């Protein structure tokens, strides 16, 4: 039987159908995760590989406000006022000519939540191109409190350590609710590089960075007004 000749139109139809399926799956998961404890792509990958991980789901009300303030001051100072994307920071990075896509400095907590839930690690223009619209959807459909709660519940804080409750227990032998301002700031310093930065054994850079984060968090008492 003769094979059908390659058709660009047929290929385009398959690509379109695949995109529709993925979009529907995304919106279904967004609706589900609005109230159900989510599982990140990194956690799923570890399950597939047979690797263990630590994670203890925790509500935002059971996390130290000082630790939440530290994460906001470190990762997304405009969290309460942006729509999921910090357009000013994004424009600055693009204007600087970042070829691999915007850096973490332009990545809001909502964008990081979208990446952790639905995408893959690493920097690429393709991933960032997906991350931005996903963050805008989360920003529209989820209240800020839920975005923060999910982010803190799935953020990676070391090899196989997911969420702030697991991190607090591992590094400081206490619950996330009992974290003080310094401990919260040290945890925040590890977020950009959780495999190399140990909050319990901070480098000089981490100690200095933690001090800066504490000052910034204390300087803006309204940073958590949306929570």
* Tens of pLDDT, residues 95-133: 665 544 445 557 899 999 999 999 987 777 788 889 999
Q: What is the pLDDT of residues 162-173, one digit of tens each?
A: 999 999 999 999
d(CA 30, CA 124): 23
Phi, psi (deg, nearest 5) at residue 11: -60, -40
Task: Answer yes or no: pTM beyond 0.75.
Answer: yes
What is the radius of gyration, based on Cα positions, of the chain?
19
Tell me the domains of the chain and their CATH numbers: 9-49+57-219 (1.10.3810.10)
CA gap 95, 12 in Å, rounded: 33
C-alpha 145/C-alpha 163 separation (Å) is: 16
Written as six digits, the tokens of 52 are 């263990």
């Amino acid at each position: 039987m003769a094979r059908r000749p390659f058709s660009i139109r047929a290929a385009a139809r398959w690509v379109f159908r695949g995109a529709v399926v993925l979009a529907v799956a995304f919106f279904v998961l967004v609706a589900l995760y609005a109230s159900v404890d989510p599982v990140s792509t990194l956690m799923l990958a570890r399950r597939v590989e047979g690797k263990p991980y630590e994670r203890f789901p925790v509500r935002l009300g059971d996390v130290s406000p000082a630790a939440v303030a530290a994460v906001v001051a470190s990762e997304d100072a405009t969290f309460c006022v942006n729509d999921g994307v910090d357009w000013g920071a994004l424009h600055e990075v693009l204007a600087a000519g970042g070829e691999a896509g915007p850096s973490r400095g332009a990545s809001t907590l909502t964008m990081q939540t979208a990446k952790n839930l639905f995408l893959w690690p690493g920097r690429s223009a393709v991933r960032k191109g997906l991350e931005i619209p996903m963050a805008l959807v989360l920003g529209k459909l989820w209240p800020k409190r839920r975005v923060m709660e999910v982010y803190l519940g799935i953020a990676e804080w070391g090899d196989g350590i997911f969420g702030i409750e697991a991190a607090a227990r591992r590094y400081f032998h206490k619950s996330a609710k009992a974290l003080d301002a310094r401990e919260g700031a040290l945890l925040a310093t590890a977020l950009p590089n959780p495999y190399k930065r140990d909050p319990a054994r901070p480098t000089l850079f981490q100690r200095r960075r933690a001090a800066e984060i504490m000052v910034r968090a204390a300087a803006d008492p309204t940073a958590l007004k949306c929570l």
